[in-house]
Structure formats: structure tokens, C-alpha cells
Amino acid sequence: MSKRIGVDLGGTTAKLGVVTEQNEIIERKVIPTDKSLTFEETIAVLSEGILSMGDVGIVGFGVPSSLKPVSDIVIHANNLGWKNKDLRGELKKHLGNIPIFIANDADSAAVGEFFQGAGQGCQSMLMLTLGTGVGGGFIYQGRLYRGGNGCGFEPGHMIVQQDGVVCSCGLHGCLEAYCSATAIIREITACKKSLILQDMIAENDGKGNARMLFDAVRQDDRYAKSILEKYIHTLAIGIGSLTTILRPEIVVIGGGVSGAGDLLFDPLREEVKRTTFSYDVIGGAAIIPAALGNDAGIIGAALLDRVLI
Amino acid sequence: MSKRIGVDLGGTTAKLGVVTEQNEIIERKVIPTDKSLTFEETIAVLSEGILSMGDVGIVGFGVPSSLKPVSDIVIHANNLGWKNKDLRGELKKHLGNIPIFIANDADSAAVGEFFQGAGQGCQSMLMLTLGTGVGGGFIYQGRLYRGGNGCGFEPGHMIVQQDGVVCSCGLHGCLEAYCSATAIIREITACKKSLILQDMIAENDGKGNARMLFDAVRQDDRYAKSILEKYIHTLAIGIGSLTTILRPEIVVIGGGVSGAGDLLFDPLREEVKRTTFSYDVIGGAAIIPAALGNDAGIIGAALLDRVLI
């Protein structure tokens, strides 16, 4: 039987996987993505890697960019240095008639969790990825929601605080500006009162990371606790608003920050009850950690044909 | 040919209309909804009114409440004094086998605008109704979006300002708390510095209304201008966030406040460019005034069978 291949395209590597009909990765390959290569060169290297995996029946791509509807033009993949690139057209030159499916990388990860991870058995699932940014994907009636005009779903740039902190996108007060790992690093770095946090940062050559916040909370540092409380409050507002608008059955939380486990999830579940419209009457969505880690993107990419119309 | 009837159910009246296959109202009836009647009595009176309109082929209801999925239980229609009422079951006692379709009233109005008003010709449309509250409906791929779990769509209770003004729903900082007509009345009433606004309110027996704000702006009142500027800014943030999440082709604005015309729409269209993620690259949705006024709810209710799955 011909192979189903998923490609999770990132700024430093492309992760390829052969995915079975049971949604499991049985073969892997990692290809460095070198920003010094041209778009055409990168696609040539990628295509060679894909074809080397054997009898390819179908291939799906998760791309770190918004995409133009229908044409699948990559609007701007900053990490890859691609702007307005015809990914489908360029791939076709190498892959010929192999069916190609393309989606945003956060959407692909959501698709992976939906079929093989935390979302198994539901029909509508919101996934938020709390990493360098805040990404997300939404599955509605078993299909990937790509927006009414096909331009995709960007929950990280919903504004939760008018005229708030400047976001990487240029807007003020986006969810991403408060709930990414980057935002946590900003807050712990600025928190000079916490000797515990400052020691951790100093010991790491002056570089903070999100895990330090949770480590400091475990050490009962009150400044860290206050930062975490605010973080959870804002994240709950984001989840509450998204639940009020989309009404997913479940909310899956992935990305590096979700590794904090109960320290994040227990208070988050409580706080969301206070930030979701009519929670006592309508109820909310179950909030569940992602299950697949980095494999979600590969698996989801390989299964895109099942969720794209 | 048997008749298609739409019922727009409100706190003081139920507006009934016979709607043609060309989506036009050709016959009307208004039935007072008296809160002193029981639920069962109200349904009996309504059903009698419906049946008196002749050969009824199909009937649709827009109801001022969230609804439980599938069963169409009215969760809480505050204006009617209904809580957890089996609307479909009670109607069936009177209407027998006539097909019955039920949706939220703001959803019904969106359906009306989609087929016969500002949304004609598009496939995805967000409607916001700026009235006593902020309601809304979303049409996605030609169908009414009712939420992943079927509990409906409540854009008015998306939080745009964490820990902001208390909303009628009990949450803090909802779009409704800033962008309803009620919010405008709160702001102009509190604005003691504006003699123009305070005179208008005094002349109206101490009662403010949203129109006064726009009248004062036309008279060049700087306090009124400042209130309107803030109003538009917050509304633009709400529309920007909803556009970033849903990516509708168009945004239709209805309700009393939308009657302000260009004084609202011109600056709103400009402001939304500054509050929508990646507006310069992806673009935004066209912002258009609703076209049908109060008829949207009747027409939409009559056509619910076309948009409910």
C-alpha cells in the first residue's frame, strides 16, 4: 500500500513521518531547513526527502504561516523567510500527481490531536498551542475550520485587553502578548523582586524560560505565584471568550507551557468557570492537555485530506 | 401552496409574517406577549395566531434565549419569564405535524439578512446587533453556526477588556458592556460636563438614548465626540477579534445604534484596520449596515429550515 506522509515544516527543521491508517508514525526523517537556501532550493531538498521514503500516496504539509484560500499561497512564513510563495505549485514540479494537502502548522497539530490524541471521539475541538507564540486550530463538525473566507484561524491575536501590551504582530493586547512562553519570559525577567527567579535566569546565562516560572512556584516564591495567577487569569479570559464564540466540546492545550501539568491545569479549569458566559447554565468545555507533543504536527499533516473540504 | 411563517418572539410582542419563496413578507400579524400568562397559555395564543394565517406549511421561531442543542429547550428567556421550557414539545400539541424550526432571535435576524438583506450573495457573514444588548449570528458556508456543541453563538459576551465594566451577564469587560445602546446611555448619562447631552436627557424626562450621542456629535460637542471615539475603538476591537477568529466575508451591523449611519460606519471601518490581525496582508471583512430592520427576524425565522442541519 502506498504511503501517507506528513511534513511539519519549521524554522530549523522539517519533520517528516510515514503515518499509518491507524494514525501512527512508523518511519521518520528530519531535514534541516536552512534559511540561506532559496524557497525553490528548500522545496527541492524537501521533495527529495519525501520521495526517498518510498511509494508516496499522499502528502500533507503543516506550514508556519497564514495561507491564501484555495491557492494555498504561503502569505508570510517569517521563520523560513518565505513571502507570497506558491508552495503547491513548486511542490508539484517535484511530486507530480501525488495529492498534496497544505494547512497552517497549528491547524495541522490540532488535526493530529483530533484523530490520535486528546480529541479522539469528539466532533468539535479547540486547540491552543502555548509556545513562542499562541497558535491554535479548531475542528468543527469533524472538519478543520479555516475561516469563512478560508484565511485561517488565529486565536492568538484575539484582543483580550484593549490598548494592552504590544504584540509581535503589532496590535495591542492580543492573547499571545500575555499567554505565550515569550510573555512568561518577559514577566519573569522583569520581576527583579524575586531572587529565586533572578538566580535561575542568571544561572542560565541570563536567559529565562517558561519552566522557570513553574519551578519558582513549586519553591513557593510569592512573586512567581502572582505572575502565574495573572497568566492563568488572562488565559482563562481567552479560553472563556473562545468558548462563548465557538462552543467547542473540548479545549486541548499544547505547546511548551502545557508541560507544567496540574500547576497550570487545575487553577485554569477553575478560573474558566468565572470567565465563560453563562457557565452555570450552559456549561463550558473540558480543558485537556495535548497528548502527542511534537508528533501532533506530523500526524495531523498526514491526515489533512480527512478534514479539508 | 402552503405558507411559510416566521415568528419573531419578543418580550412585548410576537411578530408573525407569511414569507414567500422570494423571501418577502406578504402578510403580518402582531400578537402581544403578556408576561402574566403562563408559558402554556402564551404558546396556545401564539399557535392560534399562526393557524389563523391559513394553510401553514412550515413555521420558524426566533427566541430571545440560548437553546439546548437538538431538543430546542429554551434555557432562559428572561423577557418572557421562561426557564427550561420545552418550546418544541408545547408547540407540537397545537401545531401537530407542521415542521417547526427554532433558533435564537439574533441568529434568526442574521439568517434574514443573509437571504434577503445585506448578506445576499456571500457564503459567510457575521452579524452584530447593537441594541439593548449586543447579539449576533454567524453564517458559515451557507449554514447557521450554532457552536460546536449546538449551544449557540454569543459574540456580545466575548471579553474585550479584562477586569473591565461589569456586564449584565455578570462577567467583566464583555463587548456588550461597552457597545450596547445601554452602554451608550450609561456613558452619556455620566458625562455631566456636556451641557448639550445633559439638556437632551433632561428634556426627555431624564431618560437618555443612544441617538442623543450622535445628535450631540453632530452639534460638535467635544465630550460626545470623545465618548463616540471610545465606543468605536472598542467596537472595532470586538469586530477585529471576531474577524481574526471567524474570518467572515462581511460583517453586518444592525440594531438601533446602526441607525447612526456614516457617523458610525466611516470611522469604524478605519479603526477596524488597526484592530484586525494582519489586516494589511490578509485584509478584513467589509462592514455593512443591516438592510431589513425589524423584518430580519421574521424573514430569518421563516427560512430557518434552509440553514439548520
Residue pair B135/B94 in contact by the 8 Å Cβ criterion = no
- Reading the block at residue A255, the C-alpha cell is 505547546
Question: A171: which DSSP letter?
Answer: -
Nearest to A244 among B154, B161, B240 (CB): B154
pLDDT greater at residue A43 or residue A147: A43
Determine whether the interchain pair B125/A148 forms a contact, defined as Cβ–Cβ distance below 8 Å. yes
Cα gap A234→A225, rounded to integer Å: 14
Nearest to B247 among A124, A148, A237 (CB): A148
Helix (H, G, I), strand (E, B) or coil at B117: coil
Residue A235 CB-half CA count within 13 A: 31
Determine whether the interchain pair B162/A245 forms a contact, defined as Cβ–Cβ distance below 8 Å. no
Nearest to A160 among B159, B169, B278 (CB): B159
- Helix pair A87-95, A39-51: axis angle to 10 deg: 40
**pLDDT reading at B293 higher than 80:** yes
Which chain A residue has the Cα nearest residue B125? A148
Question: A166: which DSSP letter?
Answer: B
| Residue A175 contacts B where some CB pair is shorter than 8 Å | no
**pLDDT reading at B127 higher than 80:** yes
| Residue B278 contacts A where some CB pair is shorter than 8 Å | yes
Q: Classify residue A203 by burial, with Cβ atoms within 10 Å: 0-12, 13-18, 19+.
A: exposed
- Across the range B279-287, mean pLDDT stands at 90
**pLDDT reading at B69 higher than 90:** no
- Across the range A180-186, mean pLDDT stands at 97
- Across the range A55-59, mean pLDDT stands at 97
- Residue A11: per-residue pLDDT: 83
Q: Which of B301, B189, B288, B188 is nearest to B248 (CA)?
A: B288
Nearest to A282 among B151, B171, B277 (CB): B151
pLDDT greater at residue A66 or residue B96: B96
Helix (H, G, I), strand (E, B) or coil at B63: strand
**pLDDT reading at B90 higher than 90:** yes
| Per-residue pLDDT tens over the stretch B248-259 | 999 999 999 999
Tell me the average pLDDT of chain A.
95
Q: What percent of chain A has pLDDT over 70?
A: 100
Disruptive mutation site among B68, B73, B237 for chain A (greatest number of A CBs within 10 Å)? B237
Cα gap B239→B253, rounded to integer Å: 10
Cα gap B126→B110, rounded to integer Å: 8
**pLDDT reading at B183 higher than 70:** yes
- Helix pair B39-51, B87-95: axis angle to 10 deg: 40
Count Cβ atoms below 10 Å from residue A86 Cβ, excluding itself.
15
Residue pair B171/A277 in contact by the 8 Å Cβ criterion = yes
| Dihedral sign (CA A243, A246, A252, A255) | negative
Tell me the average pLDDT of chain B.
95
Q: What ranges make up the beta strands (E) of chain B?
A: 3-9, 13-19, 25-32, 56-63, 73-77, 82-86, 100-104, 125-130, 134-140, 143-144, 250-254, 286-289
Q: How many helices (H) and strands (E) does chain B have?
A: 11, 12
Rounded to a whole number, what is the distance in Å from the CA of B270 to chain A's nearest CA? 15
Residues 288-307 of chain B with CB under 8 A from chain A are: none
Question: B5: which DSSP letter?
Answer: E
Disruptive mutation site among B85, B276, B277, B280 for chain A (greatest number of A CBs within 10 Å)? B277
- Across the range A65-78, mean pLDDT stands at 86
| Residue A29 contacts B where some CB pair is shorter than 8 Å | no
Residue pair B153/B137 in contact by the 8 Å Cβ criterion = yes
- Across the range B184-207, mean pLDDT stands at 98
- Across the range A85-89, mean pLDDT stands at 95
Cα gap B227→B229, rounded to integer Å: 5
- DSSP lists the bridge partners of residue B102 as B61
Nearest to A277 among B154, B245, B246 (CB): B154
Determine whether the interchain pair A171/B241 forms a contact, defined as Cβ–Cβ distance below 8 Å. no
Nearest to A157 among B149, B277, B281 (CB): B277
Determine whether the interchain pair A249/B159 forms a contact, defined as Cβ–Cβ distance below 8 Å. no
Residue pair A284/A272 in contact by the 8 Å Cβ criterion = yes
Nearest to B281 among A76, A126, A146 (CB): A76
- Residue A309: per-residue pLDDT: 64
Determine whether the interchain pair B245/A281 forms a contact, defined as Cβ–Cβ distance below 8 Å. no
Q: What percent of chain A has pLDDT over 90?
A: 85
What is the rounded end-to-end Cα distance, in angstroms, of chain B?
Answer: 24
Which chain A residue has the Cα nearest residue B237? A159
Residue pair B231/B109 in contact by the 8 Å Cβ criterion = no
**pLDDT reading at B63 higher than 90:** yes
| Dihedral sign (CA B137, B139, B144, B150) | negative
Distances (CA, A) of A123 to A114, A141, A281, B65: 9, 5, 22, 24
- Residue A66: per-residue pLDDT: 86
**pLDDT reading at B105 higher than 70:** yes
Determine whether the interchain pair B281/A66 forms a contact, defined as Cβ–Cβ distance below 8 Å. yes
Determine whether the interchain pair A153/B245 forms a contact, defined as Cβ–Cβ distance below 8 Å. yes
Q: The whole model's pTM is what?
A: 0.94
Q: What ranges make up the beta strands (E) of chain A?
A: 3-9, 13-19, 25-32, 56-63, 73-77, 82-86, 100-104, 125-130, 134-140, 143-144, 250-254, 286-289
- Weakest mean pLDDT among B141-155, B173-187, B209-223: B141-155
- Helix pair A105-116, A295-302: axis angle to 10 deg: 90
- Across the range A149-154, mean pLDDT stands at 83
Confidence bin at A150 (pLDDT 50/70/90): confident
Cα gap B143→B307, rounded to integer Å: 4
| Dihedral sign (CA A279, A288, A169, A9) | negative
Residues of A in contact with B126 (CB under 8 A): 148
Cα gap A181→A259, rounded to integer Å: 11
- Residue B309: per-residue pLDDT: 65
**pLDDT reading at A90 higher than 70:** yes
Strand order in the sheet with B286-289: B143-144, B134-140, B125-130, B250-254, B286-289
In the block, cell 424626562 appears at: B205
Rounded to a whole number, what is the distance in Å from the CA of A54 to chain B's nearest CA? 37
Residues of B in contact with A161 (CB under 8 A): 161-162
Residues 84-113 of chain B with CB under 8 A from chain A are: none
Residues of A in contact with B274 (CB under 8 A): 171
Cα gap A237→B159, rounded to integer Å: 7
